[in-house]
A and B are shown apart, each in its own frame.
Chain A
Amino acid sequence: MNKPVLRVLDVWKSYGELEVLKGISFDVEEREVKVIFGPSGSGKSTLLRCINLLDPPDKGLIYLRGENLTVPGVDLNMMRTRIGMVFQQFNLFSHLKAIDNVSIALQRVKGFTKEEARKKAYDALERVKMSNWADHYPAQLSGGQQQRVGIARALAMEPDVVLFDEPTSALDPELIGEVLQVMLDIAKSGTTMIVVTHEMGFARAVASEMIFIDDGVISERGTPDHFFKSPESERVKNFLHKLDILYGGYEKLLKE
């Protein structure tokens, strides 16, 4: 067996009195797409920020390809170049054109020359079908286009794993499709991903495993088939039912 790309071991996190994560553990293997879902406030976004230590966990261990990130003396800046992150609010650098958003870290952090960085950035924009928009500033792009640039920015660093923090939930409904299509493409090309999302269609199509987090713990996990055919707990059934209604299954609402 190969070492997992990422190993999350018994992660705990609280803000003051509020316990957000209460012992989360899972492994992510090479080329795996892990979908994390669950009610809002259950700690999903916190979990992602714990993984790249932007918000270090109180307790627990994070291993990236066997290296422990949660011990003192680790070069976290270097480690973070190997963990991509895509944000709910895109967080594109608003003073930079799309191409520069993607190339700046290649140049300033990874030390590529300006030409090399631009070349790689252009290739990454190509992958998300945004190369025609390379010279536009974020405020000149739609939300869906901004998020695709955000994905390109993460991919360009050639990370070991990419974390997606509800990448489509700030988007207008008609813009969600283009972002999901890009995510499907990169998932199929073998990118290791952890995706926090409520897009069950996406999960069904590419998730290798789904993890249901409720109240700071993993309350159920399994394949998409498991969740859509025979989920165990009432809590999950309820949650999926609500999502179903939200995404067009309103006939069920009328029947109730």
Chain B
Amino acid sequence: MINQGSQGLILDFLNVLEYWDHILAGFLSTMWLYIWALVLGFILGLFLALLRQYGGRILSRISSAYIEVIRGTPLLVQLFLIYFAPYSINALLKAENIPTIPIGGWNFYVILRLWDKNVVFIFLNHQVLIGILVLGLNSAAYQAEYFRGSLMSVGSGQLLAAQSLGFSKIGGIRHIVLPQALRRVIPAWSNEAVYLPKYTVVVFYIGVVELFAQAHYIVTETFLSLPTYLIIAVVFLITITIISKGLDVLYSRKRIPGL
């Protein structure tokens, strides 16, 4: 960087932006992982929270144990455990001369032709599947705790009143408690909704070609690490700002009047 100054820096940025097809492919992949992980985490997390809150002694302990194990171990460790487990099992099977499980080697992808470039978006293969699964299972534990907090905040009087009208416990939870809890949870839950896109970068380590992997690729091609990672950071920043504002709007639209 001898000759350049600020003009050179701008050229570096433009140079990196030449790879917009890679940035776009990475962004699509990151969002794809994020949405499925969030949905999986939502469904499983809500289920875990209901079990922990209303499941009675045994089920609530199973749910608590799951939540504590997930929250107590690093995401990357969980990812590697689940990613490598089939290989370890295969090694054992092979030693016993039992046919092994086929792993990987399949890809579902679309190629989007935009201007003069091809944007390759792999939406499902072995790595993506494991990535979504691990991120979703992990997010479920955190989401469960947000849901449990909001279930508790609804107050026992609501379920009592529902039961006094003849609702079963499950009916009362479904029609009276949950509609309130899901409204109340939005501000706290938005934490998880904005953390998760950033956590998706860990799947880079098992070979999912998402935004961070694409950044890595661009850096190895151009050696322009500062502009590349700055652009990646800005892409995340904009995405997360949109998610966060969107949830604010959802919360104010769904607010219970007078409360």
Which residues of A are in contact with B by a Cβ distance under 8 Å?
A: 52, 54, 77-78, 80-81, 83-85, 87, 89, 91-95, 104-105, 108-110, 136-140, 153-154, 157
Q: How far is the CA of A44 from the CA of B122 in the complex (A)?
A: 66
Q: Give the residue of B163, B175, B259 whose beta carbon is less than 8 angstroms from that of A108.
A: B175
8 further interface pairs, Cβ-Cβ under 8 Å (given A54-B164, A95-B256, A140-B258) = A77-B171, A81-B165, A84-B164, A87-B161, A93-B158, A94-B259, A109-B171, A157-B166
* Shortest CB distance B165–A (Å): 4
**Per-position binary interface string of chain B over residues 35-68, scored 1 when its CB falls under 8 Å from any chain A CB and 0 otherwise:** 0000000000000000000000000000000000
Q: How many A-B residue pairs have CB under 8 A?
A: 75
B160 partner residues in chain A, CB cutoff 8 A = 54, 87, 91
Is A140 a contact partner of B257 (Cβ separation < 8 A)? yes
Instruction: Given A87-B161, A93-B161, A94-B158, check contact A78 B166 (CB 8 Å).
Output: yes
| Chain A to chain B contacts (Cβ below 8 Å), 21 pairs | A54-B164, A81-B165, A84-B164, A87-B160, A87-B161, A87-B164, A93-B158, A93-B161, A93-B180, A94-B158, A95-B180, A104-B165, A105-B162, A105-B167, A108-B175, A109-B166, A137-B256, A137-B258, A139-B257, A157-B165, A157-B166
For residue B171, give the distance in angstroms from its CB to the closest CB of chain A: 7
A87 to B167, alpha carbons, bound, how many Å?
16
Q: How far is the CB of A96 from chain B (nearest CB, A)?
A: 8
Q: Which residues of A have CB within 8 Å of B256? A: 94-95, 137, 139
Q: Which residues, 138 to 172 on B, are CB-close (under 8 Å) to A?
A: 157-158, 160-168, 171
**CB contact between B166 and one of A89, A105, A137, A139 (< 8 Å): that residue:** A105
Q: Which residue of A lies closest to B154 (CB)?
A: A94
- Which residues on B sit within 8 Å (CB–CB) of A105? 162, 165-167
Closest to A80 in B: B166
List residues of chain A with CB within 8 A of the CB of B179.
Answer: 95
B167 touches A77 (CB 8 A): yes
A85 touches B164 (CB 8 A): yes
Cα(A153)–Cα(B162), bound, Å: 11
The answer to whether B165 touches A80 (Cβ under 8 A) is yes
Q: How far is the CA of A130 from the CA of B199 in the complex (A)?
A: 52
Chain B's closest residue to A139 (CB) is B258
Complex Cα gap A143–B175 (Å) = 24
- Cα A89 to Cα B259 with chains together (Å): 16
Measured CB to CB, the closest approach of chain A to B130, in angstroms, equals: 39
Which residues of the partner chain B approach A54 to less than 8 Å between Cβ atoms? 160, 163-164
B204 → chain A, closest Cβ, in Å? 42
Which size bracket describes the interface of B in this complex? Answer: 20 to 34
Known: A94-B158, A94-B259, A140-B257. A80 touches B180 (CB 8 A): no
Distance, CA A80 to CA B162, complexed state (A): 10
User: Given A77-B166, A78-B166, A138-B258, is A104 in contact with B161 using a C-beta cutoff of 8 Å?
Assistant: no
A69 CB to closest chain B CB (Å) equals 13
Contact at B258–A153, with CB atoms within 8 Å? no
Residue of A nearest to B175 (CB): A108
**B120 interface residue per 8 A CB criterion:** no
Point out the residues of chain A lying under 8 angstroms from B175, CB to CB.
104, 108
- A157 to B, closest residue via Cβ: B165
User: Which residues on the B side are within 8 Å of A85 (C-beta)?
Assistant: 161, 164
* C-alpha spacing A154/B165, complex, angstroms: 7
CB distance from B190 to the nearest CB of A (A): 20
A89 / chain B contacts, CB cutoff of 8 Å: 157
Asked if B176 is at the interface of the complex by the 8 Å CB criterion, the answer is yes
Bound-state Cα–Cα, A84 to B161, Å? 10
Contact A80 B164 (CB under 8 A): yes
When C-beta atoms are compared, the residue in chain B nearest to A106 turns out to be B165
Residues of chain A lying within 8 A (CB to CB) of residue B162: 93, 105
- Shortest CB-to-CB span from A49 to chain B, Å, is 8
Pick the 4 closest A-B CB pairs, nearest first: A139-B258, A81-B166, A105-B165, A91-B161
Distance, CA A94 to CA B259, complexed state (A): 8
A84–B163 Cα gap in the complex (Å)? 10
